[in-house]
Amino acid sequence: MALIKSVRGFSPTFGSNCFLAENSTIVGDVQMGDDCSIWFNAVVRGDVNAIRCGNKVNIQDGAVIHCTYEQSQTIVGNSVSVGHNAILHGCTIKDNVLVGMGAIIMDNAIVESNCLIAAGAVVLENAHLESGFIYGGVPAKKLKPLTPATFQQYVGRIADNYVMYASWFKEEV
């Protein structure tokens, strides 16, 4: 079973049909919606501020979600995929976003809906990423429009697939 800990009077809560890998860690003021999954070695640490995730969010292997004490929460919308070893720190990620493997999104950054953040990208503090584009690089820059075909191939398909992958494990919270 996942390591689920209360801290400072806050305990994580989960919607229906969620999968938590046995060695994932979820701490403190964390709220997850329905059909979410937190994968192997992922850490969602709401000890210093709140973390809120919508429905159909997948936090893939080794990813870390955290925030900054008394300054920034982390808010994640619906149908968001957080790739392997990515870091979300005190930022806002709106609906239908793919955060690529190893990407980092820093405090007070806002990623609007319908975006793809390329693997390894670094979204700097206070950045505001416009909806409908692919962003990449260090620091992350707008690369090109996110076409409907690319959106479905990556953003939509991955979010849907992770609900299916989680069903294979049949461990619900």
Q: What is the CATH number of the domain that holds 24?
A: 2.160.10.10
Q: Please enumerate, as own/partner, the contacts of 102-111 that have beta carbons within 8 Å and a separation of 24 or more.
A: 103/140, 107/67, 107/68, 107/71, 107/72, 108/72
Question: Which residue range is the domain that position 24 belongs to?
Answer: 3-169
Q: What is the pLDDT of residues 107-121, one digit of tens each?
A: 999 999 999 999 999
Q: Please give the distance of CA 152 from its chain centroid, rounded to a whole number.
A: 18
The pLDDT-based confidence of 173 (bands split at 50, 70, 90) is low
Q: What is the pLDDT of residues 60-107, one digit of tens each?
A: 999 999 999 999 999 999 999 999 999 999 999 999 999 999 999 999
Q: What is the pLDDT of residues 13-40, one digit of tens each?
A: 999 999 999 999 999 999 999 999 999 9
Would you state the pLDDT for residue 103? 99
For the entire predicted model, the pTM comes to: 0.96
**If you average pLDDT over residues 42-57, what whole number do you get?**
98
Would you state the pLDDT for residue 112? 98
In the chain, the number of structural domains is: 1
Beta pairing, strands 64-66 & 43-53: parallel
State the amino acid at position 59 in one-letter form.
I
pLDDT at 171 over 80: no
Q: What is the pLDDT of residues 129-156, one digit of tens each?
A: 999 999 999 999 999 999 999 999 999 9
